[in-house]
Amino acid sequence: MSIPKPVSLAGMPGVSATGIPESLRASRPVIQARDVNKVYASGTVALQDATLDIREGEFVSLLGPSGCGKSTLLRIMAGLGDITAGSVKWWEQDYSVVGDKGRKLAFVFQSATLMPWARVEDNVRLPLDLEQVKSAEAGAKVQKALDMVGLAKFGQSFPRELSGGMQMRASIARALVTEPDLLLMDEPFGALDEMTRNKLNDDILRLWQANGWTIVFVTHSVYEAVYLSSRVVVMAARPGRIVEEITIDEPFPRGADFRVSQSFAGYCRRVSESLEKASAMGADGQAEEH
């Protein structure tokens, strides 16, 4: 599937846009979150009235200061944990029937979380073992996933023998091995050096485009969010909430040229301003006076 070019709703690239790219609005909703509230037992309001749609083929980043509820929202999309109020649908259904409909979600954590005693291929095979996939079929799927992330030759290695970037690749392969319909990534590259992060950004974009995946990606980095996303969702903390959605109206594939373009700089400025406003917001939802 080719990914249609997102269109700025405001018609002013790099200046102002909100919502789902027009070209993807006709695609099926994958997630429909409506007025979602999440209050932890401690009393922390991690999410207040979060309403968000994710459509098939989108690459959406959740961006915001620490504690604004990005991970909480991502975990809710993964069907992990209850919500306090509101509703969430997956492919217009309740979570309980997602598996029955043959839909799969996969989650990539902040750290690689590989089993240190198991070889890379056994780590990647884990979700298939849990699904009791037959050995020959599982072996082929593991090899395909390792191929995708550039680790074809490292299946027999142990995690300690890999660099941080390669460990994260293995972790991504473990998510991809089930051929998920929705890939949820919680700051997967946050601990990596910039060059490795850029390389992995390029790889994940290439895979996303080639396979027509839907990805929701949590990040702290404005640059990473702008580079990767068809849409950036900016969030604020205390209480955690969505404050703005910015369409990144740039064609894919994106590469080194985009990173040094005026357009990239313009989007980064635009998203940074939104983030600064979000970071300065007080509990009443208004920007605080300084």
Which residues contact ligand ADP (rule: CB under 6 A)?
40, 42, 44, 46, 64, 66-72, 240
Q: How far is the CB of 110 from ligand ADP (least distance, A)?
A: 9
Q: Which is nearer to ligand ADP, 8 or 48 (CB)?
A: 48
CA distance 157 to 120: 6
Q: How far is the CB of 64 from ligand ADP (least distance, A)?
A: 6
Q: Are strands 105-108 and 182-186 parallel, antiparallel or unpaired?
A: parallel
Q: Which is nearer to ligand ADP, 30 or 233 (CB)?
A: 233
CA distance 163 to 64: 28
Q: How far is the CB of 47 from ligand ADP (least distance, A)?
A: 8
Q: How far is the CB of 204 from ligand ADP (least distance, A)?
A: 19
Q: Which is nearer to ligand ADP, 38 or 125 (CB)?
A: 38
- Answer whether the bond into residue 253 is a cis peptide, omega within 30°: yes
Q: How far is CA 109 from CA 174, 184, 185, in A?
A: 11, 9, 6
Q: Which is nearer to ligand ADP, 46 or 200 (CB)?
A: 46
Q: How far is the CB of 82 from ligand ADP (least distance, A)?
A: 12
Q: Which is nearer to ligand ADP, 46 or 275 (CB)?
A: 46
Helices marked H in the chain — which ranges?
Answer: 70-77, 120-130, 135-148, 164-176, 194-211, 222-228, 256-259, 262-279
DSSP 28: P
CA distance 170 to 145: 9
CA distance 257 to 228: 14
Q: How far is the CB of 237 from ligand ADP (least distance, A)?
A: 7
Q: Which is nearer to ligand ADP, 20 or 46 (CB)?
A: 46
Q: How many residues does the chain have?
A: 290
